[in-house]
Amino acid sequence: MSTEVSAPGALDGLVIADFGRVLAGPYATMLLADLGAEVVKVERPGVGDDTRSWGPPWVGDESSYFLGVNRNKRSTVLDLASPDGLGQARALAARADVVVENFLPGTMDRLGLGYGQVRDLNPDIVYCSITGFGGHNDLPGYDLLIQAVGGLMSVTGPEAGTPTKVGVAVVDVITGMHAALGILAALRHRDRTGEGQRVEVNLLSSLLSALTNQASAYVTAGVVPHAMGNRHPSIAPYELFSTADRPLVLAVGNNRQFASLCEVLGLGELPHDERFATNTARVTHRDELVKLLEASLETNTADAWFDALTAVRVPCGPLNDLSDAVALAERLGLAPVVEIDDARRDTPTRHIANPIRLGATPPSYRASPPRLGEG
């Protein structure tokens, strides 16, 4: 566990007017805030961001969901439907370097805060819009919905079971990362030319991009992938296996790793068997291979196999819960948890650290998430 103090960041001096709500927008702006940007979060009177009420779990009277994506920000309460609130919002946008919003398409225009309207106030603005289905479609987009219509649920879950969502709002997170990347690219362009621009990302396109090899299977080869449980369509062995206690993942990506695996398991003859000599052959004869490997793996514990196999550089690991995962990251020296101790609260708040490591301008953790209206 570590506590970071304020230090100049890569984005020091950058001002972001954050009209984002829920997850994709707030996640993007938190990443940028960690890197030094000043983020002013605009929230609705009385209720604020929807996620302030998304509990349990609660930390005191605060939602752990909200706390997870809103550190290093200030909160300002503005009624965008009132002349005074709108005026303050326009003044904020006029002095900002970046505006981020994820309202339904057309909402910001109706409020008087659309890209063209803000550009008139601030010609070099970088204006990022996050939508569900693109700026010309006024369909509402939530992560679960996009996982369904975007094909992710069709490739997730038991092989013959019910389509299953991923256990976190992964589409929102991916879209937030794409938004942050687009913002940084637009800022780099502005640094060179003085010209701002609009950045647009949407949940559906972000998911299709993130489907990578599965999407490529369809667009290049016409193959529509389907759910395979924990198996991989193109690699074997690459799935969960039973051991003497808890499941173990094997992620064997080449023949060297497979030979090392078999040697440790006492199955040194398998790499010479034509059914298993190549990855393609192993995929074809997957069921036979799994039976042979599992019979050996069930003679010892997952942790024992983890130690033995990683010693010969075979990618593997036991099935962890979140507690185990954080403990593993701590053992590996990754400092996964940070504490922020500031005047906003009587006790420090704990957070998962920003995963980006920068040698000269590392992320900093200057302020815990704001209470509603806490500037």
Strand-pairing partners, residue 75, are 41
Are residues 44 and 101 both part of a single domain? yes
Are residues 264 and 316 both part of a single domain? yes
Are residues 19 and 115 both part of a single domain? yes
Note whether residue 41 is domain-resident: yes
How many Cβ atoms are within 10 Å of 104's Cβ, its own excluded? 14
Closest CA to 187 of 7, 10, 365, 366: 10
Are residues 68 and 186 both part of a single domain? yes
Q: How many helices (H) and strands (E) does the chain have?
A: 14, 13
Residue 2: the pLDDT is 47
What DSSP line would sit under 136-185, residue for residue?
A: T------HHHHHHHTSTGGGSS-TTS-----SS-HHHHHHHHHHHHHHHH
* Tokens 């040194």, residue located: 268
Give the CA distances from residue 141 to residues 103, 134, 262, in Å, rounded to whole numbers and listed in that order. Answer: 10, 10, 47
Residue 6: the pLDDT is 54
Note whether residue 177 is domain-resident: yes
Residue 7: the pLDDT is 62
pTM over 0.85: yes
**Does 172 qualify as catalytic in the annotation?**
yes
Are residues 182 and 320 both part of a single domain? no
Total number of domains constituting the chain: 2
Are residues 42 and 112 both part of a single domain? yes
Q: Which residues of the chain fall short of a pLDDT of 50? A: 1-3
* Tokens 């509402």, residue located: 140
Are residues 249 and 205 both part of a single domain? no
Which structural domain, as residue segments, surrounds residue 50? 15-210
Are residues 37 and 87 both part of a single domain? yes
Q: Which tokens go with 290?
A: 């799994």
Residue 135: the pLDDT is 79
Note whether residue 228 is domain-resident: no
Are residues 179 and 273 both part of a single domain? no
Chain-centroid distance, C-alpha 77 = 27
Are residues 49 and 133 both part of a single domain? yes
Residue 343: the pLDDT is 76
CATH number at residue 251: 3.30.1540.10
Q: What is the pLDDT of residues 139-153, one digit of tens each?
A: 888 899 999 999 999
- What CA–CA distance (Å, rounded) separates 170 from 177? 11
Q: CA angle at residue 343 from 338 to 347, to 5 degrees?
A: 55
CATH number at residue 105: 3.40.50.10540
Total number of residues shown for the chain: 375
Strand-pairing partners, residue 197, are 126
Q: What is the pLDDT of residues 212-225, one digit of tens each?
A: 999 999 999 999 99
Residue of 79, 97, 172, 287 marked active site: 172
